[in-house]
Amino acid sequence: MKPALFFLSMLCSTAFFAQTEPRLTNDNKANTKVVYSDYLDLAKEVEKYRQDRLVSLTDFQKMAAESNTIILDTRSKEMYDAKHLKGAVHLNFSDFNEGTLRALIPSAETRILIYCNNNFAGDEEFFPSKMARPMDPFEVPRMLALNIPTFINLYGYGYKNIYELADLVYIASGSDHLLFEGTAVQQPEITE
């Protein structure tokens, strides 16, 4: 191998190694791939950006009907299979990585609409609230919605065209606000 090619090869492999191997961090002074400060830095960057990406149910539904848009459900497969917004695609949040996201959403230009359990009330079986109730009755409950880490992670993986349902929607039988599908959704009877 020529010296210039060997040097370039070593430089590229060193850069790759540095990006993929554990590194020394300020978090715990040890080599790790779990870097809390990276997540906090990313969350801080996303905080202001996200404010302009919270949309009403009306806007969410309008956007969902437009081309180059997907509704992404990141809840468990079990809950998604049982009941989800009509037309939503599924990728469990715990399965997020570059490969799974690129396979599902090849273009970063695709508009991604997200929602979670905390956007819905009136159906605790399939959309249980993500609220931590403290053991101490004098402490305030804490909301732990899945939308926020979903938004942060999508943004971190390079997807910036994200919009999040902001509204709390009350699910009532026969509601014309939303259409759901899944194994637990009763389909209307067809009469002839």
Domain assignment present for residue 16? The answer is: no
Domain assignment present for residue 23? The answer is: no
Domain assignment present for residue 19? The answer is: no
Domain assignment present for residue 151? The answer is: yes
Domain assignment present for residue 89? The answer is: yes
Domain assignment present for residue 30? The answer is: no
Domain assignment present for residue 12? The answer is: no
Task: Give the contacts of 57 (CB within 8 A, at least 6 positions apart).
Answer: 165, 167, 169, 177, 178
pTM value? Answer: 0.80
Segment 6-57, tens digit of pLDDT: 444 444 444 444 455 555 555 555 678 889 999 999 999 999 999 999 999 9
Domain assignment present for residue 21? The answer is: no
pLDDT in tens, the chain (192 residues): 555 444 444 444 444 444 555 555 555 556 788 899 999 999 999 999 999 999 999 999 999 999 999 999 999 999 999 999 999 999 999 999 999 999 999 999 999 999 999 999 999 999 999 988 889 989 998 888 999 999 999 999 999 999 999 999 998 755 557 899 999 998 666 666
In total, how many domains does the chain have? 1
CATH number at residue 100: 3.40.250.10
Give CA–CA dist 160/93, Å, rounded.
Answer: 17
Residue in 178, 78, 166 with CA at minimum distance from that of residue 116: 166
Say if residues 130 and 117 touch (Cβ distance below 8 Å).
Answer: yes
Structural domain harbouring 61: 53-192
What pLDDT does 31 receive?
78
